[in-house]
Amino acid sequence: MARALPRIVCTDPEKALDLRRQHGDCEVIVDPCDCSHAPFCRWLEGDSLSRDGQVRAALCDAVETLQRTRHAFHSRDLGQLRRRLERLLDDLSARPE
């Protein structure tokens, strides 16, 4: 069983980049969808997330699943899908709410 990474919550995206560089062995969370357990987290239950948050969490979960299984399924189409979903998440994050 994989060891769970410690998590750091930071609301400043620039500071989060520094934290990620300094603490590569930690998961730095700026947005709820940054958390690898967001869709399953008891603190971020679906009802407490906005509709946008639920969509982001589901997209993050899909991207993470595609990333985690990329060696099992050597598919160019799945790789392209993962990259499109990542771009969509970036676009959603850049858009003011």
For the chain, domain boundaries: 50-94
pLDDT at 57: 78
Number of Cβ atoms within 10 Å of the Cβ of 29: 19
3-state secondary structure (DSSP) of residue 55 = helix
Q: Which of the 8 DSSP states describes residue 48? A: G
Length of the chain: 97
Answer yes or no: is pLDDT of 12 > 90: no
Least confident range of 12-16, 78-82, 92-96:
92-96
Q: Strand locations in 1-95, DSSP E?
A: 7-9, 27-29
Dist CA 77 CA 75 (whole Å)? 5
Quick one: average pLDDT of 52-81? 85
pLDDT at 80: 93
